[in-house]
């Protein structure tokens, strides 16, 4: 309990140490402001910080930002669920049977050698540039880390655990439910977290490479670039970064809550 | 503990036997299939495993061949295997592919070198100097949240669509993994090694060169492999959108012309080159870290 209370100020460091992290961004912000204020760089290339804030407010007020985010998040949710679900299934199947692993893994590894982006021309030929193509693209990228981490998690279950299950004469189902899956869960969660952050990266790529009438945040940003609206581009970059960070943190919290038995287990046996 | 264990293993009940098998196969349940029977030499096992690996690709190839013969799918969208393979050979023979690959590889190498060297320097500085870590660390991690493709419009506006943009964009891909892995590698250097170094009164430079850098090298190599993989992906992306040369452009252009056979040939080539680059780095790692295997085995 005490430990969690003193967590924000690790090792009794004064809060000023945490303020240090803000110094570099502040210096950069000041430099940006000075450069923009005295027109050292064309305003087209570097708008004033105030202009960026104003653009943010405008985009927020005319609902453009929110509707683009909604569009992109929808793609991420579908692609992530499809990819992570498929990856979990595939990884678990290969974890259940070494024969399946020997059959599936080499092909999976060969396919994985092709950079995801390289599939885009073929994907466009086959599925067009609509939402389904983007969802497939995101799903493929989202499935890789889940497959790898699920398989690694299951294969990494210590033999001792299986021996204990053997002593308790667990049935197959119980063995999976009580031993294999819980032991593999931390690794699976890592895969899911990587998968979600990858989905978010890929939705931006998908919208940039498969640009159509749909208006995601990636489209907003690319269009901003094409129209030489640097303020829009910067707003989009910041929003995209913040959303990515928020998703990662949310999943971390969820993971910590879901796997709280793990820390308890460690503390008792430490 | 071992007493209990052996007592269980000796018990001849059939239920226990099945569990011994479960334990031995680490969760692989059910009957052992005929091709996994524990008979034959190690070579036979190896051959069996390799044969298993070819089942799925062979099935896919057969489905592709049969499908294109029976006209299950449009030959425009998926040409027959022979035609695709023929196109690949043509591209290789005519030198088109070679030329595109040379241009693309040149960009990758330039971007990778810039990004990885910068990443190594930043990562090492953050790991070695606490103040750098405290001042620049949070900013670096905040910056890292932006997906790399998010930087593309920004970089295009600043640098145009020429070679400088491509090299900068590719460099970003190598930068992040190098910073993270250099940092982690240096932070994980064993305190015992540092103690030994202090006993020998190593200077700071010698300490870095003789102790910290070699100890962090495996982690740095992980970063290099990730970084090169990223670069290989980003160069294709950059060439799709902002280029008139290179293999990414070749793919995007043949996509516009609906030449699926060229697109598939290019995908194959891109995958193969990516794989070869990874093998190259692995080989280099194997060679440079041979002292590590030595100490472990002796």
Put simply, the answer to whether B142 touches A245 (Cβ < 8 Å) is yes
Q: Tell me, what's the ipTM? A: 0.78
Residue A77 belongs to a domain: yes
Mean pLDDT, range B169-186, rounded to an integer = 94
Put simply, the answer to whether A209 touches B30 (Cβ < 8 Å) is no
Distance between CA A164 and CA B282 in Å, rounded?
38
User: Using CB atoms, which residue from A166, A233, A245 is nearest to B154?
Assistant: A233
Proportion of chain B above pLDDT 70, given as a percent: 85
- Nearest 5°: the CA angle B222, A83, B276 is 35
Residue A33 belongs to a domain: no
Distance between CA A240 and CA A206 in Å, rounded?
14
The domain tally of chain A equals: 1
Residue A144 belongs to a domain: yes
Give residue B38's pLDDT: 55
- Nearest 5°: the CA angle A203, A25, A253 is 50
Q: Which tens digit of pLDDT belongs to each residue from A132-142? A: 999 999 999 99
User: Using CB atoms, which residue from B149, B154, B272 is nearest to A205?
Assistant: B149
CATH of the domain at A76: 1.10.3720.10
CA-nearest of B94, B91, B107, B150 to B244 is: B107
> Helix B2-10 vs helix A159-167: angle between axes, to the nearest 10 degrees?
60
**Burial (CB count within 10 angstroms: exposed 0-12, middle 13-18, buried 19+), residue A248:** middle
Q: Which tens digit of pLDDT belongs to each residue from B93-113? A: 998 889 999 999 999 999 999
Distance set, CA B242 to CA A163, A201, B215 (Å): 58, 19, 40
* Cβ pair A196, A251 in contact under 8 A: yes
Task: Please give the structure tokens belonging to residue A22.
Answer: 């803000």
Residue A65 belongs to a domain: no
The half-sphere exposure of A165 on its side-chain side, counting CA atoms within 13 A, is 29
Residue A158 belongs to a domain: yes
3-class DSSP state of B226:
helix
Q: How many helices (H) and strands (E) does chain A have?
A: 13, 0
* Cβ pair A119, A178 in contact under 8 A: no
- Please tell me which residue of chain B has the smallest CA distance to A240: B146
Distance between CA A100 and CA A97 in Å, rounded?
5
- Nearest 5°: the CA angle B202, B203, B204 is 120
Chain B hits for A14, CB-CB cut-off 8 Å, are none
Q: Is residue A128 left, alpha or beta, with left meaning phi > 0 and alpha meaning psi from -120 to 50?
A: left
The whole domain housing A90 covers 72-212
Q: Which tens digit of pLDDT belongs to each residue from A122-166? A: 999 898 888 899 999 999 999 999 999 999 999 888 888 888 888
Put simply, the answer to whether A236 touches B150 (Cβ < 8 Å) is yes
Domain map of chain B by residue range?
1-36, 88-297
Q: Which tens digit of pLDDT belongs to each residue from A205-230? A: 888 888 776 678 888 888 888 888 88
Task: Give the architecture-level CATH label for domain B88-297.
Answer: Orthogonal Bundle (1.10)
């Amino acid at each position: 309990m005490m430990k969690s209370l003193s967590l924000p100020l690790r090792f009794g460091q004064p809060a000023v140490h945490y303020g240090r992290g803000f110094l570099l961004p502040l210096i950069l912000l000041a430099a940006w402001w000075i450069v923009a204020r005295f027109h050292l760089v064309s305003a087209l290339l570097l708008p004033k910080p105030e202009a960026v804030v104003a653009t943010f407010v405008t985009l927020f007020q005319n609902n453009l930002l929110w509707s683009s985010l909604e569009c992109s998040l929808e793609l991420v949710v579908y692609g992530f669920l499809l990819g992570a679900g498929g990856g979990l299934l595939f990884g678990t199947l290969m974890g259940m049977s070494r024969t399946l692993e020997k059959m599936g893994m080499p092909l999976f590894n060969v396919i994985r050698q092709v950079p995801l982006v390289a599939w885009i021309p073929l994907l466009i030929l086959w599925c067009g540039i609509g939402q389904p193509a983007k969802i497939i693209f995101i799903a493929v990228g989202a499935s890789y880390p889940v497959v790898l981490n699920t398989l690694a998690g299951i294969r990494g279950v210590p033999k001792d655990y299986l021996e204990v299950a053997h002593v308790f004469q667990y049935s197959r189902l119980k063995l999976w439910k009580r031993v294999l899956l819980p032991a593999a869960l931390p690794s699976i969660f890592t895969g899911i977290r990587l998968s979600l952050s990858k989905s978010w990266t890929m939705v931006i790529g998908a919208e940039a490479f498969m640009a159509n009438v749909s208006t995601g945040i990636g489209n907003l940003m690319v269009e901003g670039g094409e129209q030489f609206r640097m303020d829009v581009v910067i707003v989009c970059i910041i929003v995209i970064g913040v959303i990515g960070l928020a998703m990662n943190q949310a999943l971390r919290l969820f993971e910590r809550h879901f796997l709280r038995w793990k820390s308890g287990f460690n503390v008792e046996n430490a | 503990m071992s007493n209990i264990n052996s007592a269980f293993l000796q018990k001849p009940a059939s239920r226990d036997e099945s569990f011994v098998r479960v334990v031995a196969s680490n969760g692989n349940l059910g009957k052992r299939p005929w091709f996994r029977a524990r008979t034959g030499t190690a070579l036979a096992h190896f051959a069996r495993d390799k044969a298993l690996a070819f089942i799925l690709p062979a099935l896919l190839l057969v489905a592709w061949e049969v499908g294109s013969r029976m006209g299950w799918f449009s030959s425009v969208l998926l040409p027959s295997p022979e035609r695709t393979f023929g196109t690949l050979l043509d591209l290789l023979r005519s030198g088109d592919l070679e030329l595109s690959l040379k241009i693309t590889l040149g960009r990758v190498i330039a971007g990778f070198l810039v990004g990885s060297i910068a990443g190594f320097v930043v990562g090492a500085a953050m790991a070695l100097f606490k103040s750098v870590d405290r001042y620049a660390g949070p900013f670096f991690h905040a910056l890292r949240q932006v997906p790399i493709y998010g930087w593309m419009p920004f970089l295009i506006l600043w640098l145009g669509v020429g070679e400088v943009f491509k090299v900068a964009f590719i460099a970003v891909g190598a930068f992040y993994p190098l910073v993270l892995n250099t940092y982690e590698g240096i932070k994980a250097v064993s305190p015992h090694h540092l103690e030994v170094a202090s006993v020998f009164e190593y200077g700071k430079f010698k300490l870095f060169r003789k102790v910290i850098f070699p100890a962090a090298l495996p982690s740095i190599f992980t970063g290099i492999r990730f970084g090169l993989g990223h670069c290989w992906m980003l160069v294709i992306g950059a060439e799709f959108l902002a280029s008139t040369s290179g293999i990414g452009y070749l793919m995007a252009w043949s996509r516009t012309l609906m030449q699926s056979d060229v697109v598939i040939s290019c995908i194959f080539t891109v995958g193969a080159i990516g794989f070869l680059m990874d093998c190259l780095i692995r080989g280099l790692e194997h060679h440079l870290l041979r002292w590590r295997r030595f100490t472990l085995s002796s």
